[in-house]
Amino acid sequence: MAKMTVREAISQALREEMYRDERVFIMGEEIGKWGGTYAVTRGFLDEFGEKRVKDTPIAEGVIVGAAVGAAMAGLRPVAEIMTINFAFLAMDQMVNHAAKIHYMFNGQIRVPLVIRTVGGGGRQLGATHSQTPDSVFSHFPGMKVVSPGTAADAKGLLKAAIREDDPVLFIEHATLYQAKGEVPDDEDFIIPIGESDVKRVGKDATVVSYSKGLQLSLDAAEKLAQEGIEVEVIDLRTLRPLDTRPIIESVKKTNRIVVVEEGWRSYGIGSEITARVQELAFDYLDAPVRRVAQAEVPLPYNRRLEQSALPQVPDIINAVKDVMYLK
């Protein structure tokens, strides 16, 4: 095991997979000479050359469209979209082509494509550069959606995504790159896509989250433990396909659940979790499902306003106490 940042874990995963399989190449805006906006691919151009590290024009539709074609032809591209907000410019290529080709061609053609992108707020980048539209992309069958919250999960899930024969949208959070954690040294370390994970065991309430929300939830759990409240924290890790088995098992034990996400509350990931818990574990609930999410406004630029709109640790603590009827 080695301790490293999320940025280092993602970079290591890319490098290992490029050495393992010569069909893997990376492409995107400023990923070569500049080394990537978040420095994930720094040094890759010198290490792998221009054939496998391709700087592209500022044209997201072209990036994803070219990557889809390359994947159909037998390569395994990892296309970087600088921020998920720009992925809207490639929606047609992502949801009408990448996600549907395998199905529409009756399984004769695969699209082994990974789209790496960055989401989330908290960096004062303004309303159009700080969105968390994860639920939008998770809506479409045919494309898997992954969003890790720890360094180990970032490495293991990215390696699994690159080896996957279907398209994967890999969402990294802008404020987690410096977060550190223990990561296995094994070059074949992968985490299967579509498996949620219990990050903390508890008995009093269940908290479900992912990505940045996972870190907030773990912080909240630590503070609640000081008051004698033990919450179980479950990390989704994958948004499509969604693994609800650990969630249902946890709710049957704790009888209470809080869902935490950075996206907007309406039509979000939390809404889907809530619906599935109602369908599969309604008789075990001793309190209504509570959702903690971003305020229903375009995210402000002002630092204090931005933080007030985003979910925070006290919001999670209050929600847990609400479902436990301690307020």
H/E run at residue 158: helix 151-163
Look at residue 213 and give its three-state secondary structure. helix
Do 170 and 115 meet the contact criterion of CB atoms below 8 Å apart?
yes
What letter represents residue 255's amino acid? N
d(CA 282, CA 215): 27
DSSP 44-85: HHHHH-TTTEEE--S-HHHHHHHHHHHHHTT-EEEEEESSGG
Out of 29, 60, 232, 261, pick the active-site residue.
60
Tokens of 177: 């790159």
Do 300 and 315 meet the contact criterion of CB atoms below 8 Å apart?
no
Do 77 and 70 meet the contact criterion of CB atoms below 8 Å apart?
yes
Whether 22 is catalytic: no
The DSSP secondary-structure symbol of 150 reads: S
Smallest CA-to-CA distance from 286 within 316, 324, 233 is with 324
Out of 29, 129, 261, 262, pick the active-site residue.
129
Look at residue 35 and give its three-state secondary structure. coil
Give whole-number Cα distances, 262 to 115, 120, 258, in Å: 21, 7, 13
What letter represents residue 183's amino acid? V
Whether 97 is catalytic: no
Q: 135: phi > 0 → left, psi -120 to 50 → alpha, else beta; which?
A: alpha
d(CA 63, CA 134): 20
Instruction: List active site positions.
Output: 60, 129
